[in-house]
C-alpha cells in the first residue's frame, strides 16, 4: 500500500472516517475458501480460511496488531482448522468499506470502530465512544452485563453482522494546542481538528471543528490551517510529532474516554461455526480487548516519559471552567443524537442508565483512589 494510503487509513480511529478515501478495489470473493457447509457434521475435520478486513494500516501499532493477535489466537486455538487472513485497509477494501463488505458477504469479518457507521444508524456511536461517555472498563460492563450486547446484536443484525467488543484504546487525550487554554474565551475562533460529536461540542464552544485524516494533521498544524488537534494518546500522538507544532498538551479526552473496537462477523459465517468455534472467537475477542487495554496503558506511559524528558512536554488538564462547559455541552449533543429516533433512543437510554449507575461506583473507587494517590505521591 502506498504511504498516502497508509496515512489515510491511519485517520481511521479519530476521524469518524467519512473523509477517508476509498482505498482499494472490489474484493475477489473467489479467494475465500469456505470449505465447510454450514452445519456440516464434519466441520471439525475441515480446514477453513476466513478473511478479516480492517480499517487499519498493516501492522499499525495498537489497532492493526490487535487484529493480527485475534487472528493468531483463533488459528492456534483451532490448531489451524480456521485460518484468518488479515487484510490492511486498502488491500481488499478501503478503511470505511469494511462494514459493507462483511454485510454483503464479500468478506467474512471486519475489525474497526463502530462509530464509523453512524451514517447507517446513529446508534453505532454508542458502541465505540460518545462525549462524556463510559471508560474502557465501564463499556465492558455495559456490553457484557448491562444489556449492551443484546442491543448491539439487534442493531448489527439488521445488517447481517454479529458484533463483538475486540479492543479498546483506553482513555484518549484532549489534544495538542498552539496556545495555552486558560478560559472558555480561548475556544472562540479556535480551529481544531476534532471529529464527530466531539467536533459539534467544539463548535458550540465557539470554535471551528475541522475534519482531517491522520496524515493531513501535521501539515495543517504547520501551515496554520488549524490551531489544535486531537488524535489518540501519547503513544500514537508522539509518532506523528504534533508536539513540535502545538506544544500544549491537554487532557482529558472528553470525547473518547475509552474507544472500543469491534470484530464484526458476517452472520451467515457466524451461524455456520460450531458452538466450540464460536466460543473460541469470543475468547479471541476478549483477549484482544484485555491485551489492548494493557498495551495502551504501557505504551502511553512510556511515550509520556519520552515527551517529558526529551521534549519538555508536560501534559495539562483543561481548566475547570472549560471542563464544566464541555461536560454540559457534551450531554446536550449526545442527547440530541440519542433521542433522534426510536432505535437510537433505546440504545441511548440503556447506555445512559449504565453509565450513571457505574459512575457512582467508579468515581468513589478508581476516581477517588487515583486523585488520592496523585496527591500523596506528588
- Cell numbers given for 247: 506544544
The region of 12-20, 88-96, 284-292, 367-375 touching Ca ion under the rule CB under 5 A is 12-20
Q: Which residues contact 30 (CB under 8 A, 6 or more apart)?
A: none
Are 202 and 187 in contact, with CB atoms under 8 Å apart? yes
Residue closer to Ca ion, measured from CB, 55 or 172: 172
Count of residues engaged in binding Ca ion, rule: CB under 5 A: 3
Considering the complex, state which of residue 172 and residue 329 has its C-beta at the smaller distance from Ca ion: 172
Residue nearer to Ca ion on the CB measure, 124 or 281: 124
Q: Smallest gap, in angstroms, from Cβ of residue 62 to Ca ion? A: 12
C-alpha cell at 367: 476516581
Residue 14 touching Ca ion (CB under 5 A)? yes
Q: How far apart are CA 60 and CA 76, in angstroms?
A: 22
Q: CA nearest 116: which of 215, 218, 195?
A: 195
**267 in Cβ contact with 331 (< 8 Å):** no
Q: CA 250, CA 176: separation in Å to the nearest integer?
A: 6
Q: Stretches 10-18, 50-58, 98-106, 354-362: which one binds Ca ion (CB under 5 A)?
A: 10-18
| Touching Ca ion, residues 237-276 (CB under 5 A) | 256
Q: Which span sits near Ca ion by CB under 5 A: 164-172, 236-244, 260-268, 326-334?
A: 164-172
Least distance in Å: CB of 236 to Ca ion?
A: 9
For Ca ion, the closer of residues 99 and 115 by Cβ is 115
Strand 175-177 relative to strand 248-251, pairing = antiparallel
Q: Which is nearer to Ca ion, 267 or 333 (CB)?
A: 333
Please, what is the minimum distance in Å from the beta carbon of residue 267 to Ca ion?
29
Q: Does 197 contact Ca ion by CB under 5 A?
A: no
**Kind of pairing between the strands at 175-177 and 228-229:** antiparallel
The grid cell for 117 is 457507521
**With respect to Ca ion, which residue has the nearer C-beta, 200 or 256?**
256
**Which residue's beta carbon is nearest to the bound Ca ion?**
14
Q: Which is nearer to Ca ion, 66 or 71 (CB)?
A: 66
Least Å distance, CB 232 to Ca ion, is: 5
- Alpha-carbon distance of 197 to 213, in angstroms, equals 16
Region near Ca ion per CB under 5 A, out of 38-46, 168-176, 292-300, 338-346: 168-176
- Provide the minimum distance between the beta carbon of 259 and Ca ion in the complex, in angstroms, as a whole number: 7
Contact between 254 and 172 under an 8 Å Cβ cutoff? The reply is: no
Nearest distance from C-beta of residue 135 to Ca ion, angstroms: 15
For residue 217, state whether it binds Ca ion (rule: CB under 5 A).
no
Q: How far is the CB of 253 from Ca ion (least distance, A)?
A: 7
CA–CA distances in Å: residue 333 to residues 61, 96, 139: 31, 24, 19
On whether the CB atoms of residues 259 and 13 are closer than 8 A, the answer is: yes
**Total length of the chain:** 378
Nearest to 347 by CA among 140, 151, 103: 151
What's the min distance (Å) between Cβ of 195 and Ca ion?
Answer: 7
Q: Which is nearer to Ca ion, 14 or 161 (CB)?
A: 14
Residue reference for cell 469470543: 282
Q: Between 48 and 191, whose beta carbon lies closer to Ca ion?
A: 191
Binding to Ca ion (CB under 5 A) within 278-297 occurs at: none
What proportions of the chain, in percent to the nearest 5, are helix, strand and coil? 55, 15, 35
* DSSP symbols for 103-155: HHTSSSEEEE-GGGGTTT-GGGGGGT--TT---HHHHHHHHHHSSHHHHHHHH
Least distance (Å) between residue 23 CB and Ca ion: 20
Interface with Ca ion by CB under 5 A: which range of 169-177, 209-217, 235-243, 268-276?
169-177
- Binding residues for Ca ion, rule: CB under 5 A, are 14, 172, 256
Amino acid at each position: 500500500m502506498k504511504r498516502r494510503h497508509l496515512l489515510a487509513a491511519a485517520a481511521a480511529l479519530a476521524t469518524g472516517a467519512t473523509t477517508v478515501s476509498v482505498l482499494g478495489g472490489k474484493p475477489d470473493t473467489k479467494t475465500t475458501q469456505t470449505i465447510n457447509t454450514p452445519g456440516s457434521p464434519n466441520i471439525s475435520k475441515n480446514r477453513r480460511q476466513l478473511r478479516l478486513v480492517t480499517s487499519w494500516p498493516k501492522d499499525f501499532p495498537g489497532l492493526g496488531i490487535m487484529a493480527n493477535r485475534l487472528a493468531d489466537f483463533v488459528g492456534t486455538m483451532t490448531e489451524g482448522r480456521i485460518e484468518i487472513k488479515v487484510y490492511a485497509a486498502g488491500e481488499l477494501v478501503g478503511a470505511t468499506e469494511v462494514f459493507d463488505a462483511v454485510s454483503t458477504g464479500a468478506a467474512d469479518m471486519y475489525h474497526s470502530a463502530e462509530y464509523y457507521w453512524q451514517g447507517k444508524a446513529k446508534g453505532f456511536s454508542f458502541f465505540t465512544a460518545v462525549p462524556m461517555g463510559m471508560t474502557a472498563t465501564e463499556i465492558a460492563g455495559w456490553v457484557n452485563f448491562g444489556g449492551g450486547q443484546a442491543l448491539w446484536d439487534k442493531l448489527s443484525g439488521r445488517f447481517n453482522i454479529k458484533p463483538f467488543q475486540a479492543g479498546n484504546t483506553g482513555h484518549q487525550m484532549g489534544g495538542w494546542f498552539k496556545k495555552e487554554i486558560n478560559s472558555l474565551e480561548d475556544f472562540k475562533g479556535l480551529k481544531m481538528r476534532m471529529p464527530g460529536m466531539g467536533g459539534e461540542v467544539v463548535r458550540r464552544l465557539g470554535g471551528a471543528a475541522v475534519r482531517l485524516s491522520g496524515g493531513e494533521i501535521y501539515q495543517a498544524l504547520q501551515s496554520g490551517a488549524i490551531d489544535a488537534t486531537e488524535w489518540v494518546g501519547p503513544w500514537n500522538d508522539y509518532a506523528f510529532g504534533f508536539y513540535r507544532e502545538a506544544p500544549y498538551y491537554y487532557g482529558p479526552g472528553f470525547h473518547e474516554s475509552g474507544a472500543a473496537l469491534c470484530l464484526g462477523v458476517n452472520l451467515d459465517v457466524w451461524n455456520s461455526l460450531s458452538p466450540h468455534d464460536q466460543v473460541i472467537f469470543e475468547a479471541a475477542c476478549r483477549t484482544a480487548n484485555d491485551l489492548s487495554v494493557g498495551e495502551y496503558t504501557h505504551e502511553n506511559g512510556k511515550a509520556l516519559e519520552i515527551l517529558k524528558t526529551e521534549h519538555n512536554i508536560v501534559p495539562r488538564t483543561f481548566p475547570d471552567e472549560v471542563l464544566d462547559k464541555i461536560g454540559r455541552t457534551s450531554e446536550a449533543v449526545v442527547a440530541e443524537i440519542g433521542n433522534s429516533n426510536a432505535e437510537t433512543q433505546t440504545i441511548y437510554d440503556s447506555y445512559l442508565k449504565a453509565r450513571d449507575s457505574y459512575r457512582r461506583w467508579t468515581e468513589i473507587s478508581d476516581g477517588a483512589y487515583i486523585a488520592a494517590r496523585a496527591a500523596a505521591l506528588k
